[in-house]
Structures are given as C-alpha cells and as structure tokens.
Amino acid sequence: MKPLALTMGDPAGIGGELTLRAWQALHRDGPCFVALDDPDRLAALAPEVPINLVLAPEAASAVFATALPVLPIELAAPPQPGHPDKANARAVIASIERAARLCLSGEAGGMVTNPINKAALYDAGFAYPGHTEFLAELTGAHGRQIMMLASPDLRVVPVTVHASLSRSIAMLTTDAIVAAAQTTAAALQRDFGIARPRLAIAGLNPHAGEQGALGDEETTIIGPAIAALRAAGIDVSGPWSPDTMFTATARSRYDAAICMYHDQALIPLKTLDMDRGVNVTLGLPIVRTSPDHGTAYDIAGKGVANPASLIAAIELAALLATRRA
C-alpha cells in the first residue's frame, strides 16, 4: 500500500503533538504515513523524534521505521500553542491541497487530516464550512460528499451537518435522506467489505413522531425515503425512535445509522467511544479520514493530548485504502 498523507492541521493546536505520538506508536509495524508539515516546528515539539525530509511519499516507506518522514510545508510564523495565527493559514490550506493532489495522482494511498480552525483560515480565502466540503471541491465531488463517524461499536451518518437545529429541520428532504443512504450503502460495500449493508433510518421527532402526534416528518419526509431506498434494493429499516436505536441490542441489527441532524449522530458515537471515533468522508474519489475532535487549544503544547483518535484514523484510512486497491 502507498503511504498515507497526514496534514498539519492548525499549528497552534494539538495536531503536531498527535503526529509525533502517532509515529512513535506506529513506526515499527505501520501503517506508514508522511507528514505534510513544517519540520522545524515538529522538531521543537519533540526533539527526541528523528525526522527525515522527503520529496515525495514514495520515499517515506524506506525511512518510516527509523524516522518520521516529513514532506516540508513551511510556516510563515513560529506557532504559539493555543493562539492561532492567520499568517500560517496559507500553509495549513497548502497542506490539505497537497495531500489531496497526492491522493488523486496515486502517490499517496489516502489522506488523514489533523484538526483545523476554520475561522483562522477565512482571512486566507478559505470559504468552506470545513474539510469535507473543501475536499469535495478539490476532488471534483462537490455535492456528493457525506460525513460518516465510525468507531468499533457504531457508524453514523448525519443527513444535515453543520447547521442550527431549526435550519437542519428546514433542510431535511426525502431526496437528501435517499442520497445519504445510497452513498453510505455503496461505501460500506466498497470500503468496509460489507456485502449487503443494513441501514437504520432514524426518526426526527421523539418516539419517531408517535404516529403523527409529535410531528409528521416521519410520514411526509422520512417514510417516502425509506420506501424509495427499499425499491432500489437497499436493506433499510425505520424510522427508528431516536432514543432507543443506539442500545447494544439495537446496534446489532444494523451496520450504520442514518441520522437526521448532527447531534443525533455524534452524541451517541462520542458517548460510546470518544477516543476511537474517526471521521470518514464518503463520496470522494480518494480515502480521507480524520480524528473525531478539534484543535484542543486549551491543552496544546502541554504534552497531554491523547493520540488514540488520530491513530484510529490512520489505521482506518490504511484499511480503506487497501480495500480500494
């Protein structure tokens, strides 16, 4: 498998620390990755970690066992932990763009993104809600991208993502549910090796609307989506009552839950396994994963950041890339 491309994320956050700890955990047995980052800032964070500059991902495999391979992306200003600097925004964006290009060209097997702060990037021309939308634009998959959060115990896909609850409800349509479920089913087959994926479709209202007494979206929007998906040959069930569909018994009956809005999906996943949750972008022509947490400015530079989610993201990206290959 080709090495993975690991982006720098916000240099004022915990991404650099996580990159170094991930290499310490994985350098003996892999998966192999190359960091698209500023070598000087990484060396300052952990002088004990050997660093080897490379010009292309293909050189990473030969050195990964003994040194962290770094494809240099120079920062404009020395980063200060916990204090994002707009001067470094262009380097953060360049790291993402370079990783995407390496994946599209086949030089990297997939990409793993460290957390960014979107507000810190806007002055540099970043005009996207997040990584997902930016990568969809870079890879020509705009409008087809879907966010999945995956852990060993649960996979969830929110139909609406970064919007207020009132706006999320207004955005919810039958077509959006069908599109999210179709993309999820295809990804579960291709990338996760599940021959006939089982999808659980969540209701929107308490008790899935209680037959219209607590809301009619289950009848007017969600029910027609379920019927369309069944007609297309996809194994779906629902609408499930959101307050009971994440128990251990319920989870055994499906491979992924299609949820109606952000928190309906992310609260149960993060409650079950915050450390091993991974963000996976479905619908792209490349493999992309990310740890399921943010920049953590409050602990940046203190040496206490937990690399478990980044390591899980690297390992899952390697698995998905192998299956695609």
Same domain, 3 and 42: yes
Same domain, 258 and 164: yes
Same domain, 225 and 133: no
**Residue 239 DSSP SS3:** strand
Q: What is the pLDDT of residues 31-65, one digit of tens each?
A: 999 999 999 999 999 999 999 999 999 999 999 99
Q: Please, are residues 158 and 265 in contact by the beta-carbon 8 Å criterion?
A: yes
CATH of the domain at 35: 3.40.718.10
Same domain, 170 and 189: yes
Q: What is the pLDDT of residues 125-137, one digit of tens each?
A: 888 878 888 999 9
Same domain, 1 and 139: yes
Q: Please, are residues 295 and 14 in contact by the beta-carbon 8 Å criterion?
A: yes
Q: Please, are residues 160 and 177 in contact by the beta-carbon 8 Å criterion?
A: no
Same domain, 71 and 32: yes
Q: Residue 274: which pLDDT band, with cuts at 50, 70 and 90?
A: confident
Q: How far apart are CA 293 and CA 305, in angstroms?
A: 11
Q: What is the pTM of this model?
A: 0.92
Helix (H) or strand (E) holding 69: strand 68-72
Q: What is the pLDDT of residue 112?
A: 98
Mean pLDDT over all residues of the chain?
Answer: 94
If one compares 319 and 119, the residue with the highest pLDDT of the two is 319
> Which of 106, 152, 102, 148 shows the shortest CA–CA distance to 259?
148
Max distance between CA atoms of the chain, in angstroms, equals 63
Q: Please, are residues 229 and 178 in contact by the beta-carbon 8 Å criterion?
A: yes
How many Cβ atoms from other residues are within 10 Å of residue 217's Cβ? 19
Q: What is the pLDDT of residue 130?
A: 80
Same domain, 136 and 3: yes
What DSSP state is assigned to residue 2? P
Q: Structural domain of residue 296, as residue ranges?
A: 1-145+287-325
Q: Residue 269: which pLDDT band, with cuts at 50, 70 and 90?
A: very high
Q: What is the pLDDT of residue 212?
A: 81
> Which of 1, 284, 300, 288 shows the shortest CA–CA distance to 137?
284
Same domain, 5 and 100: yes
Q: Please, are residues 107 and 100 in contact by the beta-carbon 8 Å criterion?
A: no
Q: Residue 228: which pLDDT band, with cuts at 50, 70 and 90?
A: very high
Helix residue ranges per DSSP H, the chain: 15-26, 39-45, 60-63, 89-104, 118-121, 131-138, 165-171, 174-190, 217, 223-231, 248-251, 262-273, 308-324
Q: Please report, rounded to a whole number, the percentage of residues in the chain having pLDDT higher than 70.
A: 100
Same domain, 184 and 268: yes
Q: Residue 305: which pLDDT band, with cuts at 50, 70 and 90?
A: very high
Tell me how many domains the chain contains: 2
pLDDT at residue 121 greater than cutoff 90: no
